Chain A
């Protein structure tokens, strides 16, 4: 490992358990707190008539100091003998969970802080659960404020056991559980003489044992196209290698379109003949063939591209003020692609603090809840499961253009890459002819699928007919199924390689009087 690699650590836990104080103390005890900052805090505290408050280093906003809370996540920097650190403070109030997630999603490792007097609380558990959903496996627990319980070993043991049990239930094995007092500086940078019964590492050496999140160089190649620049006669596909390595000459393919080619060059500014690009590198790629790819396509090795998902099941956390609702449309953003989706099932709605299942087969997910859900994608998207590849297996859900939730992909249902059907929404706008209803699909060469709008069905209900022109005979089957599914009749006439289909509502068949009344309920 490169000793110069920065480690990003987020500090999470229930409100008032001492997260901001711990950070101030870490700075102070490692000699990283600039004297002027110290004096500025000292002065503010004196003006407010209170003891020196280490938390003020991070809680810089006036509102935060006034109310003694952390509102938004902040990042700060310090250095030990071993390496540089980025410390990310996260607010502990549940209203600010979105800010906690913003902070935690940027970290390599976490310190979960628990107040030794108060013990495990609502946000302790919620934050731990969120860490597991964000895929943060490196966690150290810090049991704080032991000065308030006389540095008693028994109290520490109780909390240790409780937290270990809970973390186990969300799949986290803590690296260490360190007893400390942030205010007094026990076991932060130096071993405390007040807890001779503890023989583990100080918090600082526990941190030094973590490793930065590896770049996913060992995984298969994933290169999502971020943008396309046509400059200087070249078509450059700009993007970041999310995993694996790409070299000129590689045989590559793209998902979801299934297009393929050979890599011609890897482009970097002022680096002619760049031999390769690996995970984490932002580069440009040129191809041997003119493919006209768009943002969102993901390049992989020819025999290993991500699935072209039509449906994904996922575990999500919801931060929106309005509930996430079944059968509603949202936008799912994953790597550089995005698709409209319909939330098609909510098998489980979960309390993100107690982990209890609130409801099965639910119709909504409320703010701060976690859920297992299924999304149906309106157009195919390149997706891996989170287990296969974190970078291509995590996404955010946007509502009204704002990120309102996020999640990780558990399972993917896909088309064969390159053979996705185009979904054609049959709505009244498609009916173009003034003297009749005519939908021209003669330019759709591939497989098609239909998505019917209520307005469209209403027209048919009213006795109108719709003519649809198809390009190929293969597309007939889909249309026949559609007619079958909606009890419609249809007539077909061949036109060249394709044909014209007329859809209409079947007249209801007159049934014998006895059956017409229907079954008695």
Chain B
């Protein structure tokens, strides 16, 4: 109880004084996760829509695999990415291990299935509504998917936000592939793990509260910007 109170006051102090280290790792958390979310959305949203719209032989299997991948343990993803990006691994020449790029790659792998799966659900419902109309108007495949993505954008934003939420709070994978290097790959979650390790629960909790506030702020900002809650608009 004491720790939590101390954490809250310390969080407030860090934020109010615009602590430079805090600003840096918070910005890096955002940088890594926003980038990962954008990439994963660029892959996952059209993929989800494509699966919803097209009938193909392996469709059921793809859906099952996608749903299974949603539960992918981040540590395992981290480990695999580590082994691949290590200098002694297949993509070692790129020298990406222990860089923010490696963290982005790991996060993209973790959240793409989530985004694809949620968008698949949403688009499937919309496709059921639109099917006859789009066929009747002779929309091409691309046009159909583009229309569904656009008209389903609210639901898709939810899918992306779910991915963002998972990524911003993730620690296992990015700790492994990022290495938690101060001023290079340290982000909020890995800093929390570090401070917990040092027994500095107050600071760890403070960082935790900042992380939660950040996640809420991003969600709020997107909802306000896109006007989700405004009356009967879609």
Is the pairing of A and B real? no
Q: Which residues from chain B sit less than 8 Å from chain A, CB to CB?
A: none
Q: Which residues from chain A sit less than 8 Å from chain B, CB to CB?
A: none
